């Protein structure tokens, strides 16, 4: 399994990451979103199935999660991954993610909408720190 270097684990505790997916027209679609670096060392997201990024991932599971250090923008973490989508009908993971942010994710969805857990399986990790060059 490809792992994220310890030198960049602090970035996995930040609030927001950018997720790039392949849109239906072939162009990248980039979205800022919440994420969780889970206990097993994988990054997971909770997404509403009505959103375009879920449709993009269903068609093309290849994606990139990107985080930069706000105090040092030359320090970045890029995780190229294959996304695995699993239903979260009881909001088990959504509730866990919500605890990180102090938010009730259930309240973000309209009646009848559902969520999936998106688990990112890294295929390549680029941990950059330009200040160390």
Report angle CA 43, 127, 12 to the nearest 5 degrees.
35
* DSSP secondary structure letters along 94-133: HHHHHHHHT--GGGGSPTT--EEEEEEEEEEEEEEEGGG-
Q: How far is residue 125's CA from residue 3's CA, in Å, rounded to a whole number?
A: 8
pLDDT at 131: 81
Q: Which residues are registered as beta bridge partners of 37?
A: 43
The pTM (predicted TM-score) of the whole model is 0.95
pLDDT at 7: 94
Q: How far is residue 48's CA from residue 113's CA, in Å, rounded to a whole number?
A: 7
* DSSP secondary structure letters along 39-96: TTS-EEEEEETTSHHHHHHHH--EEEEEEEETTEEEEEEEEEEEEEEEE-TT-HHHHH
- Reported as a single tens digit per residue, the pLDDT across 9-56 is 999 999 999 999 999 999 999 999 999 999 999 999 999 999 999 999
- Reported as a single tens digit per residue, the pLDDT across 67-86 is 999 999 999 999 999 999 99
């Amino acid at each position: 399994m490809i792992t994220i270097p310890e030198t960049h684990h602090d970035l996995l505790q930040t609030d927001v990451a950018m997720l790039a997916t392949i849109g239906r027209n072939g162009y990248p679609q980039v979205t800022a979103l919440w994420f969780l670096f889970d206990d097993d060392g994988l990054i997971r997201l909770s997404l509403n199935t009505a959103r375009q990024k879920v449709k993009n991932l269903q068609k093309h599971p290849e994606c990139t999660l990107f985080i930069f250090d706000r105090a040092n923008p030359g320090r970045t973490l890029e995780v190229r991954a294959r996304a695995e989508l699993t239903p979260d009908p009881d909001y088990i993971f959504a509730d866990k993610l919500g605890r990180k942010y102090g938010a009730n994710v259930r309240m973000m969805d309209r009646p009848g909408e559902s969520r999936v857990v998106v688990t990112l399986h890294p295929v390549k990790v680029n941990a950059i720190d330009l200040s160390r060059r």
